[in-house]
Amino acid sequence: MSKRRPRYLIFVLLLVPALAACYLVSGERSEEATPNPLGEGRLEVQFVTADGQVDREIPVGVAEVPVLVDLTVQAQQGELTLSFLDSAFNPVLSVTGRYGLEGRGSAVIQSDAQGRLLFRIAANEVREGAYTIHYQLLVLPTPTPTVTPTPEPTP
């Protein structure tokens, strides 16, 4: 056995798990509406094919506030799961769409310390997939009025 063959085998064995963890998507189109003054926002994503897993985030701009999330997931073929995660990366809300059946769900999720909502996309040989996320901050930051100092009376 030549010295090149063990190196090649080691390279292949290390490469396979790395490729298995990749998220491959084609034809992705997304439309995002950032939070308006009422704290409402939307993210719509459509794609032709997808396979694998990836973590993404939505910046909501305010740290550690409750956010109402409504989620819709669709896949004409395969299985598409979208899971919102807490700060320890544990799933809080998971919705799956498969084989032409739409998945729906909603929950109140707290934004993390950086003011983000974290979510994970897991696609298993999905064709013609889509997901829509509507979110609304339940506690809006209120502006703090600044008091104008009263001038000292002059004698």
**Which pLDDT value is given to residue 16?**
46
Beta-bridge mates of residue 108: 68
**What pTM did the predictor assign?**
0.74
Where in the chain are the domains? 22-137
CA distance 40 to 53: 27
Per residue in 72-112, pLDDT (tens digit) is 999 999 999 999 998 888 999 999 999 878 999 999 999 99
CATH class of domain segment(s) 22-137? mainly beta
Closest CA to 45 of 59, 66, 27: 27
